[in-house]
Amino acid sequence: MHVLCMLLALLAGSACGQTAPPPGKGATESADVGAARDARPLDVVALANEGFLLRSGEQAVLIDAFLSVPYAGYDALPAEVLARLEGAETPFEGIDLALVSHEHADHVQAEPARRFLAASPDTLLATSPQALAIVVGDDEEGVSNHEAYLPEPGETSVVERNGVRVEFLRLSHGRNFASLQNLGHVITVGGQRVLHLGDAATEARNFRPYALPGRELDVALVPYWYFVERGGRALVEEHLLARHVIACHIPSRERAEIASKLATSHPHVIVPSEPLQSWTIEPPGH
């Protein structure tokens, strides 16, 4: 059993380290997709809400991971895992990049973020100016290793670190949050490409400029409502194709109900059944 799986199974008392099922309907199925890439197995670990740990060999990324207190019906990290995160202890050691999609408290909370960054000074916090202000506040010295990224709508910005590449996408959170800086991400870890949307509105204009179907995505981390709303389902089929799709941002009380619905409507979509579940994504063609 993988070392990461062993730790998470110990903390959560759950099965993990599963090999992701083969792609199904709506996924990119060609064995030739990405064949020219030097890709390695990728561990994808669901943390809380839209939080994930991505690790392949010596490369590792956290996204939307810093959640110590439940918020608006969404989970926080279990206490034992939070303590390891804040101390940058296994499996949260050696993180190259810490990403935050936007400033809402179901995606980032200041105290756990600051504690982790203090314990992991080699990690770069890369996020929007708004989210950065939540974490850093007025204490620039307390959180020194950070950079702000905010491409214009339809454009991208890029950061690279230790072979990890992140392309930031400017994706609107919707009309009710017109001033909110929500970032999507195309994250390349171990040669595999992972899409994370944050809370991108289910609007086609969000995605058209980025030509995502041509990016040979290996994993898409997609809020669950994309699969239950009519407009969202159309966007998944047209813009969010990937070899493996994982639903996220699921309210804790609705997890079983949503899992049951998606098992019927979108059987190829992976629905985490509990916090800290993990999957090993094999490279394309394997």
The pair phi, psi for residue 55, each rounded to 5°, is -145, 135
Looking at every residue in the chain, the average pLDDT score rounds to 89
pTM to 2 decimal places? 0.90
Tens digits of residue pLDDT in 211-224: 999 999 999 999 99
Q: Which residue has the tokens 């041509």?
A: 214
Tens digits of residue pLDDT in 163-206: 999 999 999 998 888 899 999 999 999 999 999 999 999 999 99
Rounded CA separation 183/126 (Å)? 11
Query: pLDDT at position 9, please?
Result: 55
Nearest in space to 226 (alpha carbons), one of 254, 256, 198: 198
Percent of the chain with pLDDT over 70: 87
Q: Which residue has the tokens 């083969």?
A: 22
Handedness of CA 91, 93, 99, 103 (dihedral sign): positive
> Where are the strands (E) in the chain, listed by range?
18-19, 42-46, 52-56, 59-63, 97-100, 124-127, 146-148, 156-161, 164-170, 183-189, 192-196, 219-223, 244-248, 278-281
Paired with 168 in beta bridges are 157, 185
Amino acid occupying residue 78 = P
Domains of the chain by range and CATH?
Answer: 39-149+157-281 (3.60.15.10)
Tens digits of residue pLDDT in 239-264: 999 999 999 999 999 999 999 999 99
Nearest in space to 44 (alpha carbons), one of 280, 282, 284: 280
